[in-house]
Amino acid sequence: MLEIRNLHAGVDGVEILNGVNLSVNAGEVHAIMGPNGSGKSTLAQVLAGHPTYEITQGTVSFEGQDLLEMGPDERAIAGLFLAFQYPVEIRGITNGYFLQSAMNSIRKARGQEELDTLDFAELLEEKLKEIGWDDSLIHRAVNEGFSGGEKKRNEILQLAVLEPKLAVLDETDSGLDIDAVRSVAEAVNRFRSDERAFVVVTHYQRILDYLTPDHVHVLSKGQVAKSGGKELALELEAKGYDWLREEAPVG
Amino acid sequence: MDRNDDPSASAAIDQHVQQPYKYGWSTDIESDLAPRGLNEDIIRLISEKKNEPEWMLEWRLKAFERWLTMKEPSWANIRYDPIDYQAIHYYAAPKQQKKLESLDEVDPKLIETFEKLGIPLEEQKRLTGVAVDAVFDSVSVATTFKAELAKHGVIFLPISEAIVEHPELVEKYLGSVVPRTDNFFAALNSAVFTDGSFVFVPKGVRCPLELSTYFRINATSTGQFERTLIVAEEGSHVSYLEGCSAPMRDENQLHAAVVELVALDDAQIKYSTIQNWYPGDETGSGGIYNFVTKRGRCAGRNSKISWTQVETGSAITWKYPSCMLEGDNSVGEFYSVAVTNNHQQADTGTKMVHMGKDTKSTIISKGISAGRSQNTYRGQVKIMKGAENARNYSQCDSMLIGDQCGAHTFPYIDVRNSTAIMEHEATTSKVGEDQIFYCQQRGLSEEDAVSLIVNGFCKEVFRELPMEFAVEATRLLGVSLEGSVG
C-alpha cells in the first residue's frame, strides 16, 4: 500500500529525514518510535503533504500512485488520513458541518453522490455509537476551546467518519492520561481491518499496549535505525533510545 | 516556528492574488448626459430634469454654497489622488421617449441588464417576497410591487418621484438625520443627488415584503449620488436591502451617497447592504471611490435600527453607518463584514450616540484583509450625560490573509454618564497555512478551505442578513477572496 524509498526531506535547507525506507501493507499496524528530534512527526507531515517541507530525494508510492506529486487534498481523496498532533481550531464552523463538507468533497472527487444533512447526521450517529462516544463535540466549533483530550478524540472521530485506507496517527497519545489513551486506542482498534493500514507515530510505548502493532520501527537521525516486532517496543521502554545510536541504520 | 512568516508562502500568496470581477461588463445604451463639471447651472438642470418643486432646488443650492467652503476630510486611513470634481458628469440617464406608465415600457436593454445582475424586474420572476427599486446611473428605471405595497399604505418610490408626489413627507424628513452641511460628501450629495429610494411605513404596519434597491453605475466619467430616506412610523417594521455594482473601468468613479433612517416609537428598521462596487484591478488601477454617509435616528421610545453590511467592493470605502439613540430604551446595532483584497482600502465602522435612557448598542465588526489591501475599523461610542444606564457591546475582529496587507482598529469611546456599561473585545488572527493544510488534509480544496475559514469568521454577521441574501453574501465572499491564498 505504502512504499517509502530513500526519502530525504527538510526545512530551509536543513535535512530532517535522511533516507527513510518503509513498506506498509494493507491490514498492518506499524509503530514509528524514536527520540525527540528523530524526524517522526516530520515523516507524518511529509506523508500528508505539508507545504513547509521540501523533499530533496527519494520516492513515496501510495496504492501505486506517486504520492509526492499529489496535493494534500488529493492525498486525502486517495485515502490517506493524518490524525494531527496539534489539531487546528476553526472558528464559527461546527464540527458536524466541517466533517460533512470534508466527506462530500471527497465523495464528489471520487464520483460518489454527496450526502445531504439528514443522511450525514444518520451516518455520524452510527459512527458515534460504534465507538461509544456521545455527540457533545459535534455541535461545537472545530476544536475551538477543546481540551487536549477532546482534540485527540475529535481526530479519531474524523478518522472513523472518513474511513481512510491509510491512517497516520501523529503522537495521538501525547498529553493524554491513561484512560484517554485507552479510549482512543480502543476506537482505533475498532477500525482495524484487512483493507486498512495504520502508521502510529508515538514517543511512548503505552499506547502500543492497546494497539498491538505488527511492526515497530525506531527512527534516529532521520533514518529507520531498527525494525522489529512488538517486543522491540518493550525493549525500548526498558532500555531507552541511547543504545540505538551506536547501531548502523537498516533498510 | 511560525510558518506564516515563511517568505516562500507569501510569494505564493502574491502569485494567486487575482480574481475576476463578475459584474464588470457595461450596457451599450444611449444616455442623456449633463456636461462635465459642477456649478449652479448643473444643479438647476438636475432639479429641472426631476421636475422638482422650488424648495428642493433652494435646498440643493444652499448645500452647494456650503460645499464650496468645505474641505475634503483627510483623517481617514486611505490614500488616493485628488478627485477632480469638475471632471465628473453629475447626471446621466438612459434616454427614453416618454414617462413610463408600466414596466412593459422599460427599455428591454435595461431589463436585460438587471436580469444579468440577478435582479429580475418582471414581477412574475421576482425574488420571493422582495420588492425592488432599480437605479441605473442617475435614475430609477423600475420599481416593482408598488401597487401591492400601497395596499398596506407603504410608500416605496424612487426619491425623485416621492419629492413630486409626497413633498410634505420628504420636506419634513429630508436632512433631518444627515443635515445637508453634515460633512463634505454629504453636502456634495445634497447638492447633486439624483435618485435613490424613499420608503414610508405608516403607523402599526409591518411591511409585507423585503424592500430592496439595486444601484448600477454604467456611464463613464459619471458619479453616482443617490439618496435614500426611510421613515418608519410608530410601531412599524421594515427590512430594506441595497446592492450595487459597476463596470470595470480604469478610471476611478465617485459614488457619494446619503442614507437617512428615522424610527419613531416602537418602530424597527433593518437596513442591510451588500456592496460590490468594482474594486479596481490587481495593480490598483480603477475602481469606485465610495464615500457614504449613513445614519439612523432612533427618535422614538423602544425604537430599533439595525445596520448589517457586507462590503467586498470599491477601491476606497469611507463609510460609518451610525445610530443616534435619542428615544429611551432604543437599540442600535451594527454588524459588518468588510473584505479587502489587492489594493483596496476600506475605512469603515460606526458611530453609536446614546442620548436616551436605557439605550443599548451592539457592534460586531469583521475585517478581512488579503493581498496588499488596508482594512480599517473606526468606531465611536458616545454616552451623553442624560443617557442613564446605557450599554454598549463592541467586538472587532480582524483577519489577515498573507503578510502584505494591513488591519487597523480605531475605537473611540466617550462616556459622560457613570452608569454606562461598556464592553469592548478585539482580536486579530491570520488565516494560517496550518489551518488551510488541516482542511486540505480532510479533503477540501484550498479555495474551499479559505472560504470555510472566512465564513466561520463572519458567521455572527451573516446570521443577521435576511435569509434570501445570506446565501448571496456567502458566495460573494468566496468570489472576492478567490485565489488570495497560495
pLDDT digits (tens, 9 = 90+) for A49-62: 999 999 999 999 99
A251 located within any domain: no
Least Cα separation, residue A181 to chain B (angstroms) = 23
Are B209 and B145 in contact by the 8 Å Cβ rule? The answer is yes
From A179, A187, A175, A97, select the one nearest A133 (Cα to Cα).
Answer: A187
Cβ <8 Å between B435 and A72: no
Least Cα separation, residue A77 to chain B (angstroms) = 6
CA atoms B182, B185, B191, B194: torsion sign: negative
A12 located within any domain: yes
Residue of A nearest to B460 (CA): A92
Using CA atoms, how far apart are residues B354 and B322, in angstroms rounded to an integer? 11
Cβ <8 Å between A84 and B3: no
Using CA atoms, how far apart are residues B28 and B110, in angstroms rounded to an integer? 10
B251 located within any domain: yes
Q: CB burial class (10 A; 0-12, 13-18, 19+) of residue B274?
A: buried
Residues of B with Cβ-Cβ distance to A111 under 8 angstroms:
none
Cβ <8 Å between A76 and B442: yes
Predicted confidence at residue A132, as pLDDT, reads 83
Residues of chain B whose beta carbon is less than 8 angstroms from a beta carbon of chain A are 1, 3, 6, 9, 429, 432-435, 437-446, 448, 452-453, 455-460
Are B219 and B137 in contact by the 8 Å Cβ rule? The answer is yes
Helix (H, G, I), strand (E, B) or coil at B112: helix
Cβ <8 Å between B443 and A88: no
Percent with pLDDT over 70 in chain A:
97
Q: Which three cell numbers stand for residue B143?
A: 420599481
Task: Kindly state the helix (H) or strand (E) to which residue B416 belongs, with its residue range.
Answer: none
Cβ <8 Å between B439 and A102: yes
Using CA atoms, how far apart are residues B405 and B371, in angstroms rounded to an integer? 6
Torsion of CA A232, A234, A237, A243, to 10 degrees: -30
CA B229-B234-B239 angle, to 5 degrees, is 50
Predicted confidence at residue B437, as pLDDT, reads 95
CA B120 to chain centroid:
21
B485 located within any domain: no
B486 located within any domain: no
A95 located within any domain: yes
**A13-39 pLDDT, tens per residue?**
899 999 999 999 999 999 999 888 899
Sorting pLDDT into bands at 50, 70 and 90, what band is B16?
very low
Residue of B nearest to A95 (CA): B456
* Better pLDDT: B340 or A46: A46
Residues of B with Cβ-Cβ distance to A106 under 8 angstroms:
443
What is the DSSP secondary structure assignment for residue A245, as one 8-state letter?
G
pLDDT over 80 at A207, yes or no: yes
**A113-157 pLDDT, tens per residue?**
999 888 999 999 999 998 888 888 899 999 999 998 899 999 999
Residue type, B376: T
When divided into structural domains, chain B yields a total of 1
When divided into structural domains, chain A yields a total of 1
Q: Which three cell numbers stand for residue B478?
A: 468566496
* Better pLDDT: B188 or B253: B188
* Side-chain half-sphere exposure of A133, counting CA atoms within 13 A: 24
A192 located within any domain: yes
Predicted confidence at residue B101, as pLDDT, reads 57
Predicted confidence at residue B3, as pLDDT, reads 33
Cβ <8 Å between B448 and A93: no
Q: What is the mean pLDDT of chain B?
A: 84
A189 located within any domain: yes
pLDDT over 70 at B468, yes or no: no
A103 CB-near residues (< 8 Å, 6+ apart): A115, A120, A161, A162, B443
The domain of B282 spans 3-480
Cβ <8 Å between B437 and A105: no
pLDDT over 70 at B92, yes or no: yes
Cβ <8 Å between B458 and A103: no
Residue of A nearest to B437 (CA): A50
Cβ <8 Å between A84 and B441: yes
CATH code for the domain of A19: 3.40.50.300
Predicted confidence at residue B341, as pLDDT, reads 85
The domain of A66 spans 2-246
B55 located within any domain: yes
A11 located within any domain: yes
Q: What is the mean pLDDT of chain A?
A: 90
Residues of A with Cβ-Cβ distance to B452 under 8 angstroms:
90, 93, 98, 101
The answer to which of B91-105, B138-152, B192-206 has the lowest mean pLDDT is B91-105
Are A196 and A177 in contact by the 8 Å Cβ rule? The answer is no
Q: Find which of A118-122, B383-387, B473-477 is predicted with most confidence, using mean pLDDT.
A: B383-387
Q: Which three cell numbers stand for residue B388?
A: 442613564
